[in-house]
Amino acid sequence: MFYDEAKVYVKAGGGGDGCVAFRREKYVPFGGPAGGDGGKGGDVLLCVDPHLNTLYRFSRKRHFKAARGEHGRGKNQHGAYGADLRVSVPPGTVVYDAGSGESLGDLTEAGQELVVARGGRGGKGNARFVTSTNQAPRIAEHGEPGQERWLRLELKLLADVGVVGVPNAGKSTLLAAVTAAHPKIAPYPFTTLQPNLGVVVLDDQTEFVLADIPGLIEGASEGKGLGHEFLRHIERTRVLIHLLDGLSADPLADFAAINGELAAFGHSLAQKPQLVALNKMDMPDVRARWPEVQAALEAQGHLAMAISALTREGTRELLYRAAQMLAELPEEVVAEEELPVFRPGEDEELFTIEREEDGWRVRGVRVERLAAMTVWNLDEAVRRFQRTLERMGLAAALEEAGVQPGDTVRIGERELVWEE
């Protein structure tokens, strides 16, 4: 089974809690607050491992959680940071947010990393809240919760040349003949049910990666046959070898149909350079029809060659021509803005208020984080929370929305009772 799609859950580590503590040392009167901060939670990162070639590992494990930060301690001791969690993925992995569908990054280079969930910051200890008017604060913060999300991973094979064509055209036979790959080969359509990769080595200076894409049929771009599953793998290839079945009733019609599917799928597949090869020249009937097929293809402006993947006739010339086409293409340059970056969420200051059957629901990045980090059994921390709501304009917004004393107001996982 070829695993080229996966859905995984990632959760970054929460920050450690801040500490409320005071110095109590001999000969040090009024030592003051000495509670340390909590440590930051670990991030979750996806990193490219060139030794992987499928997403199979995610069929067995789908949940990944980074370590949380340690809590602060007395004597101004800050908690240690939580360890980052690095999850290995194969080259060619495209990362999407499963909920919004947003593309988060495209991982193609060995060692490349993408942060997909940020660890929460550590809560402040009471030593951080000292002011000129409050020399002994009894206030601290819980650590910020780490980010969590579902991701959709999609693998697009990284190959220089892709072999396309109708089922049973001989693509797997060609791959087996010119590389060390061992794809399944049989005399019936849809033998290949997954893409296969092989490395072509022509001489000391000429080598490239060749991919056998499972047989396409008319309607593949709409989900018919196997093509819809694997058309995206052609996106990574730079040159296409379009293999025609010499024993087909109409190879030219097959050629037109497959090109139509490439154009319908989009993603510039139809604009990729193509090298057309008529296969099965070991058969007398195919050899007899070759001049007619060659003339028709060249009349359309295509470079046409004749091969027999079974006997390897013409395969070396075909591969050298493909290598020449690769060398003539300009170098691909990845735009700076296309490099994978972490994208923060919406404006943190924004909030919404919704009426529920038995109360009110407040949503917003900053206000939910504030509620999660407040230590509710510390009076000073509760008063700080109330002052912050007033500065944000949330208290006034709730009153304007119609909240009444005694109503339940939910912020994140916290349930509060509104009072004047």
pTM above 0.85, yes or no: no
**Over 90: is that where the pLDDT of 144 sits?**
yes
User: How do residues 146-204 score in pLDDT, each as one tens digit?
Assistant: 999 999 998 876 678 888 888 878 877 888 887 755 544 444 344 444 567 677 888 87
CB 92 within 8 A of CB 115: no
User: What's the pLDDT at 232?
Assistant: 66
Two structure tokens written together for 6: 């996966």
DSSP symbol at 38: P
Q: What is the 3-state secondary structure (H, E, C) of 57-78?
A: HHHCCCEEECCCCCCCECCCEC
Domain spans of the chain, in order of start: 1-155, 161-331, 352-417
Two structure tokens written together for 245: 């079945």
**Superfamily grouping for domain 161-331:** P-loop containing nucleotide triphosphate hydrolases (3.40.50.300)
Q: Alpha-carbon distance 133 to 147, whole Å?
A: 36
Q: Alpha-carbon distance 56 to 183, whole Å?
A: 18
Q: What is the CATH number of domain 1-155?
A: 2.70.210.12
User: What's the pLDDT at 221?
Assistant: 44
User: What's the pLDDT at 227?
Assistant: 47
Average model confidence (pLDDT) across the chain: 83
User: What's the pLDDT at 233?
Assistant: 67
Residue with the larger pLDDT of the pair 223 and 153? 153
**Over 60: is that where the pLDDT of 48 sits?**
yes
Model confidence band, residue 54 (pLDDT cutoffs 50, 70, 90) = confident
**Over 50: is that where the pLDDT of 336 sits?**
no
**Over 70: is that where the pLDDT of 3 sits?**
no
Residue with the larger pLDDT of the pair 266 and 293? 293
Domain 352-417, CATH among 3.30.300.350, 3.10.20.600, 3.30.1490.100, 3.30.200.20: 3.30.300.350
